[in-house]
Amino acid sequence: MARAPRILLTGFEVFGGHSANPSEKLATRLDGEWVGPARVVGRVLPVSIAKLDGAIDEILAETKPVAVVALGLAEREATIRLETTGYNELDFRIPDNDGKKRRGPIDKAGPAKRAASLPLAASLKALLAAGIPARLSDDPGRFLCNAALYGFLARAGRMPCGFVHLPQTPEMVARALKKDPKTDASLRASMGLRLQLAAIRLILAETARKALK
């Protein structure tokens, strides 16, 4: 019996002193769900530049997906952010979970940038029609999210592949404000996990349509 096509959904571990990471929660929550004839396979990536490439190779070899939707946290973002481009550049503002900071190219032999191949326009249209705040972005930062996007795209071939940034949850912001009532206003943006879950389900549905047509 043929195996059902798989859509890989990745999140990241908790990092940077945050109390949680919604990308990890959603990748775990959606693992095993069906999107039409495709099955979602959720996996969590390490917040480690030294381990990231190996983890990507291992997960792709294990899952053999028809599409990749990678997720990450953007602490200053108030909307679902659909990234259009991965860049061959690192410039860590904070250390990764190994305590390391990196600055410079990801791959000295690689192109300066790679274009995401998810159905971004269709996903944006579906999100806004559902009343979910969302926008396109050409700046995924220069931390592990960008490294994951660039790395997945290097391996994606013709399959749909891209990255989605998520806001903090209200609970994360509340914990931060409890710890420091003067937390910078730019760090107070949030979106409930249920709404984020609905958003990712819509993106997965559009991705499945493109991957399986």
Catalytic residues: 83, 145, 165
Determine the Cα–Cα distance for residues 72 and 41; give it in Å rounded to an integer.
16
Q: Pinpoint the alpha helices (H) of the chain.
A: 22-30, 49-63, 120-129, 144-156, 170-179, 193-212
As given in the structure block, the two tokens for residue 43 are 């996996």
* Burial call 140-160: b when 16+ CB within 10 Å, e when fewer: bbbbbbbbbbbbbbbebeebb
CA-CA distance, 213 to 210, in Å (whole number)?
6
Q: Which residue has the tokens 């420091």?
A: 180
Give the torsion sign (CA, 79, 120, 30, 199). Answer: positive
CA distance 20 to 27: 13
The helix/strand/coil state of 91 is: strand
Nearest to 173 by CA among 20, 5, 67: 20
